[in-house]
Amino acid sequence: MKQATTVEQQIEILKNRGMVIDLSADKVKEILIDIGYFRLGFYCFPFETSYPNRKNRTHQYNPNTKFSDVISLYYFDVDLRNILSRYINRIEINFRTKVIYHVSNKYINCNTWFVDPSVMEKKFIDKFDTEIYNSNFKKNPVIKLHHKKYINDKYAPAWKSLEFFTFGTMLKIFQNLKEKTLKQQISMQYDIRNVDVFENYFRALVELRNLCAHGSTLFDYKLSCPLRNGIALKINEKNRNKIFSVIKILHFILQKVSKNRAGEMETAFNLLIDKNCNNQTISNLIKNFIGENIFNN
């Protein structure tokens, strides 16, 4: 059974596996206590001789692998996550607003259409009270105040309730709308005519949002749901799960929300690439994982 190791032992393990510790001992200890040996392992992986093979890993590093390069890759990932989080949030709010607006105005006489069986699929409604509008959700100050004021309402109206739903829940609401023309009306707000492609794109954005929110590793992440060819990108089979493909999706959708924000995203992304261009090792890794001129391809 594996046992916990001290910082000093962790440093020796890295050395024995061939890593060059090119920072001061105090700095290395500070980093290991701050970030954690296990988390750094994700960023050590591309420097291993057996990479990208995840089975039968040797944990031995390529010659001249520097500890500082592992840290540079880690902070590239942190910066990338921060950039993507900002613009995913903009899309999330925009999508929520559009769903609330278009569906609420379609069913003007039903302000709780999200639990109406004539509007929503039964499978969604059956789980709504336990999975979404449960006791924890009702503790939200806005929702709590609504029910205190309107004691006979089982649910707060859509423009109140849905405001506090997660991005993933909002996508489920969209997916469970019965009327296909209404779904297309919303997807066309982003210039996407094919609703299946729209749902595929937004599933990827929800997955990316969750990765960013939970501090997951991004640079070599493989999406669980392969992306489809569509208006946002033409994609070959080997790139359907790659991170740069969903970044392109994000940029495409963001352009439909705000061209200024899309321009900001391009600038921030290019500055991040430029920030790492002087380190040839990291620059090459970024090119392998993210590519070059990502918004022009």
What would the pLDDT profile of 224-244 be if each residue is shown by its tens digit? 988 988 888 777 777 888 898
Instruction: State the pLDDT confidence band at 287, using cuts at 50, 70 and 90.
Output: confident
Query: pLDDT-derived band of residue 251, with 50, 70 and 90 as boundaries?
Result: very high
Look at residue 223 and tell me whether its pLDDT is greater than 70: yes
Share of the chain above pLDDT 90, in %: 80
Confidence (pTM): 0.92
Distance separating alpha carbons of residues 60 and 17, to the nearest angstrom: 5
What φ, ψ does residue 61 adopt, rounded to 5°? -95, 155
How large is the average pLDDT for residues 184-207? 96
pLDDT digits (tens, 9 = 90+) for 135-145: 999 999 999 99
Whether 5 has a pLDDT exceeding 60, the answer reads: yes
* Residue type at 87 in one-letter notation: Y
Task: Pick 101 or 296 by higher pLDDT.
Answer: 101
Distances (CA, A) of 234 to 230, 231, 239: 6, 8, 10
Contact 288, 280 (CB under 8 A): no
The predicted pLDDT at position 296 comes to 65
Residue 293 in this model has a pLDDT that exceeds 70: no
The per-residue pLDDT for range 74-124, each reduced to its tens digit, is 999 999 999 999 999 999 999 999 999 999 999 999 999 999 999 999 999
What CA–CA distance (Å, rounded) separates 150 from 144? 10
CA distance 133 to 156: 10
Reference 71, options 36, 100, 106; nearest CA is 36
